[in-house]
Structure 1
Amino acid sequence: MEGLYFSQFFVIVIICVSYFSSCVVGSDFLPPKLPTIGISVLVRNKAPALPYFLSSLLEQNYPKSRLYIRFYCDHSSDNSLEILQHFVEEFGFLYHATYIVADETSPALYEDESTPVLWSPKRFEHVIELREEALEFARRQWADYIFMLDADVFLTERETLQLLVEQRLPIAAPMLQSEGAYSNFWCAVTEEFYYERCDDYHSILDREKDFLDCHTVPMVHSAVLVSLASELSDQLSYTRGAGYSGPVDDTVLFARKAASLGIPMHVCNTHAFGYVPKPPASSSGLSAELLERDSLLNVKLQAIARGAPLPLVPTLRRHVLYPPKDTLGCSKIFMINLERRTERRQLMELSFLELGLDVELVKAVDARNLSDEILRKLDVRLMPEYEDPYHKRPIKAGEIGCFLSHYNIWKEIVRSGHELSMILEDDVRFVPYFRLRLRGVLRELSGHGYDLLYLGRKILADSGERPVTAHTTRPLYSYWTLGYLLTLRGARKLLGGNPLQNMLPVDEYLPIMFDQHPNDTWKSHFPRRDLRALSASPLLLHPTHYTGMPGYLSDTEDSPVVSADPLHRSDL
């Protein structure tokens, strides 16, 4: 009888324990921990990028107790190591562990290098060894994943790690944006594993609606999350096998090994994850440091133009160096900005800081403050025949305000005698290597005697435009006044047309004054049309946003229509 009671008691205990365990473990009270991730970063001469790289890493919304970071630094001639040490001192306690492995005795250059920008055979061999060492270190740490991360990758999406882990892919990379068509994946390769063009590349890169996914690709690099959970992953390696005769490149070797094991690689473009600079080409005329800085600058300006500058935590700001300010050979640089558009102004000022431009802010004439009385005092008279060519409507108050803003600068140029001025609006995106390209254009135009040089515009008919120099053309009918250079003589000519007596949008007035406007009736109001206009080609400025894009805002189109004389706004 005793044995029977004991058996019944034992069965009841087992049932209760099983029930209790299933309730608790399966409940929301004890959710499973996120996987552990080891982050491996190789650092060489990355001082300009590190404050932004480390800031973006710090802002990742992933439990830092589940992360370790291992930095390896060698062959550096800048203060990369100092920045890493500062980061670890300030924030290392947040992570499960941080490691800095540094070879301070290594020379600035490898034996077969002439510049640290180019990749020499010995450098490739060394990086392959370091990648393999990082992979083995992660395995010894029992990490669930290793994240191979370049020190100039900027993850602006704070959920990057979480989003990649959720995909449960063996090898995944966040698609990174860069200059032009460069990114961190290959869409196709040859049999020898060399780069090959692919029809879907730009659809993936441009994040077209039907291509937002994690795509199987033959190669990913720069930011690669590798799962170490499967037994098959133990065979992944960066080392060369016997008889290997392909490219000696760490990314190629790893991709080929994964392919041989049947382990797919994916690039995910579901989110705008971040940026990676395009590797700079070596140039005998520029130092490696300048090449690196310009490549980084291009990415920083790209992020600013999209309204989300690269992350930079306050304690790392001291490591950021900005160039000295100048006016790029101009007497003055002006930027027009509506006082209520604070965000635009701040973003443009950040661009100027990065570019080293000394710019004078000009408060735009706000259409909201343009009363009939003010317009009469200015003796503004609307051109009676004007009708917007596209919308078939009269001029808008915002277009009048925009014209007056430019007009006031033209008057200031003449009053102060500025020989050459740059006039910018507050929604421009600078092309890569803007300073270098503009200086080149100005050298080409020495002695050409122009009055106005478009830096950015909407080209309406470029098929008939004739080149003037290697990087300039004679513009035909164009829209927009994003940015242009104006000489003192050009300003006098624009004022001499008395445009306030026949008001129309400023981007219609300019083509009239260089006699390339198709509307003869409008042109007849301005008999002297001898403005000597040229345009940079290719253009040096573009809008930050185009019509229909998220974030697009137009203070001209969103303003009320103004009726013909006597001045009266239709909706006020």
Structure 2
Amino acid sequence: AATDHNVDNTTAILREWLKNVQNLYHDVEWRPMEDPQSYPEEIGPKHWPSSRFTHVMKLRQAALRAAREKWSDYILFIDADNLLTNPQTLNLMIAENKTLVAPMLESRSLYSNFWCGITPQATPSLCLQGYYKRTLDYPLIREWKRTGCFAVPMIHSTFLIDLRKEASTKLMFYPPHQDYTWSFDDIMVFAFSSRQAGIQMFICNREHYGFLPMPLKSHQTLQEETENFVHTLIEAMMGLLEKSGSGLPFLPHSQAERLMSFSSTQIFMINLKRRKDRRDRMLRTLYEQEIAVKIVEAVDGKALNTSQLKALSIDMLPGYRDPYSSRPLTRGEIGCFLSHYYIWKEVRGL
């Protein structure tokens, strides 16, 4: 685990994460670097000057070299902001039996961790050699209209290398291949290395594997990156909770330190006591958005009976029918109304 050039608390978060999970790993190498906090040429924390690309490529090359020296069978590269929600992702990628393969990751747009096309030659006025090229195949794969494992010219962010394959010995992140003339970019340098080694890249979308955030522009801020990542995290978390019914591990922070109520005096969250799964999901979502709430147990419509409704002086409007389904109010809808009514009474101090 390597971290450097930080102006936030990334190092502390990684250190706490390692403290909690390093016992799950055979070996952990920890490489924190507190200074410098930025690159000399950068115009902001989201700007990638050539020195930043070089540094990242050297780190990946060091990881690849270490894996080879340990006689590892595989090495899985995952960007820190990529979220794998399918616990079988590693096994599934190994089962594909490819030298270089990636699980297709989702975002809130068509963006993903692969390209279906690369510009074949430099555009005279722009020199856009080796850049992303739009193809008809890309949306078909990205939207699961075509499923399988597909040969593509570029995978990035999260991918698996099978080090048992002889061809993998020719792969390098750094230095760039001697014939490399494309733009200086880490994923393009590696794609060229793969091509020169005669290794085909593959993207797999047989299942849903996880999520990645949208890339930001060089002028954008860390606050924008935080908001972008929280959106991705909530999407990933919702999918995982729905599948497993369990929460995601997260670092313990003081609620008082993280949570706020904006300008509101109080925010209420209504929840049926018997729906613990929804409560956990909402609390985790609100936690990630740093919103403090008061939990109010909802009135359970299934527990309401006629005598209770009469005691509360609740009567159905004569002839009322739901405008969408043409039916009378259900007990669940009455319970929902009462839940809001009791909050209103509390707010009014009644």
| 1:73 partnered with 2:3 | yes
- Aligned pairs for 1:18-417 within 5 A: 71-78=1-8, 80-81=10-11, 92=22, 95-104=25-34, 106-191=35-120, 192-206=129-143, 208=144, 211-238=146-173, 239-242=175-178, 244-282=180-218, 286=221, 288=222, 290-306=223-239, 308=241, 311-312=248-249, 317-318=251-252, 324-413=258-347, 415-416=348-349
CA distance 1:357–1:103, shift in 2 (3 Å): closer
Structure 1 residue 375 displacement after superposition? 2.4
Q: Are the counterparts in 1 of residues 105 and 211 from structure 2 also a CA contact under 8 Å?
A: yes
1:7-26 equivalences under 5 Å are: none
Offset of 1:119 from its aligned partner? 1.1
- Indicate if the aligned counterparts of 1:173 and 1:224 stay in contact, CA closer than 8 A: yes
Q: Distance in 1 between matches of 2:83 and 2:41?
A: 30
Q: Of the two, which has the highest radius of gyration? A: 1
CA shift, 1:416, in A, is: 4.0
Partner of 2:125: none
Contact kept in structure 1, 2:272 and 2:297, CA below 8 Å = yes
TM-aligned CA deviation for residue 165 of structure 1: 0.8
- How far 1:293 sits from its partner (Å)? 3.0
Give the residue type in structure 2 aligned to 1:185.
Answer: F
Residue identity in the other structure for 1:304: M
Alignment RMSD = 3.2
Residue 342 of structure 1 deviates from its aligned partner by 1.6
Is the CA contact (8 Å cut-off) linking 1:352 and 1:358 kept in structure 2? yes
Aligned partners of 2:249, 2:199: CA distance in 1, in Å? Answer: 36
Matched to 2:170, the amino acid is Q
Letter in 2 for 1:393: R
Tell me: CA distance 1:80–1:393, structure 2 relative to 1, closer, same or farther (3 Å). Answer: closer
SS at match of 2:78: strand
C-alpha deviation, 1:368, in angstroms: 1.5
Sort the Cα spacing of 1:243 and 1:266 in 2 relative to 1 into closer, same or farther, 3 A: closer
Alpha carbons 1:323, 1:356 under 8 Å: kept: no
Letter in 2 for 1:265: M
Q: How many angstroms apart in 1 are the aligned matches of 2:269 and 2:13?
A: 35
With the length of structure 1 as denominator, give the TM-score of the two structures. Answer: 0.52
Distance in 2, Cα, partners of 1:327 & 1:319: 17
The AA in structure 1 aligned to 2:262 is L
Return closer, same or farther for 1:86/1:352 CA change in 2, 3 Å cut-off.
Answer: closer
Identity of aligned residues (%): 37
Q: Which amino acid aligns with 2:327?
A: R
Which region of structure 1 is more displaced relative to structure 2, 120-129 or 235-244? 235-244
Q: Distance in 2 between matches of 1:358 and 1:320?
A: 12
Q: Distance in 2 between matches of 1:310 and 1:127?
A: 32
- SS of the aligned residue for 2:150 comes to strand
Residue 183 of structure 2: SS of its match in structure 1?
Answer: coil
| CA pair 82-218 structure 1, distance change in 2 beyond 3 A | same
CA displacement at 1:169 relative to structure 2: 0.8
Q: Which has the higher strand share?
A: 1
SS class of match (1:161): helix
Q: Specify the code of the residue in structure 2 equivalent to 1:401.
A: G
Equivalent position SS for 2:102? strand
Alpha-carbon shift at residue 136 of structure 1 (Å): 3.3
CA gap 1:384/1:281 in 2 versus in 1, 3 angstroms: farther
Distance of aligned partners of 1:333 and 1:365 in 2 relative to their CA distance in 1, 3 Å threshold: same
Opposite residue 259 of structure 1, the aligned amino acid is R
Taking the aligned partners of 1:330 and 1:83, their CA distance within structure 2 comes to: 30
Amino acid of the structure 2 residue aligned with 1:130: L
**8 A Cα contact 2:68 2:163, kept in partner:** yes
Q: Distance in 2 between matches of 1:174 and 1:358?
A: 36
Task: Work out the CA distance in 2 between the residues paired with 1:336 and 1:93.
Answer: 39
Question: Are the counterparts in 2 of residues 156 and 311 from structure 1 also a CA contact under 8 Å?
Answer: no
1:188–1:367 CA distance, 2 compared to 1 (3 A):
same
Return the offset for 1:109. Answer: 1.0
- Alpha-carbon contact 2:2-2:31 (below 8 Å) kept: yes
The structure-2 alpha-carbon separation of the partners of 1:320 and 1:300, relative to structure 1 and needing over 3 Å to count, comes to farther
Q: How many residues align?
A: 337
C-alpha separation between the residues in 1 aligned to 2:238 and 2:32?
A: 36
Matched AA of 1:273: Y
Deviation for aligned residue 1:99: 2.4
Question: Aligned letter for 1:360?
Answer: K
Unaligned runs of 5+ in 1: 1-70, 418-572
Aligned residue identity for 1:171: L
Letter in 2 for 1:306: G
**Aligned residue type for 1:311:** L
Give the Å deviation of 1:225. 0.6
Q: 1:157, 1:274 within 8 Å by CA — same for their partners in 2? A: yes
Q: 1:274 to 1:198 in 2, by over 3 A?
A: same
User: What is the CA-CA distance between 1:320 and the residue it aligns to?
Assistant: 8.3
**Matched residue, 2:123:** none
Higher RCO (CA < 8 A, seq sep 6+): 2
CA distance in 1, matches of 2:187, 2:194: 11
Task: Classify 1:384/1:91 alpha carbon distance in 2 versus 1 (closer, same or farther; 3 Å).
Answer: closer
Q: Which amino acid aligns with 1:222?
A: S
In structure 2, the gaps of 5 or more residues are: 121-128
* 8 Å CA contact 2:118, 2:132 repeated in 1: yes
- Taking structure 1 as reference, are residues 331 and 222 closer, same or farther at Cα in structure 2, changes over 3 Å only? same
Q: What is the alpha-carbon distance in structure 2 between the residues aligned to residue 175 and residue 337 of structure 1?
A: 35
Contact 1:323/1:355, CA 8 A, preserved across alignment: no
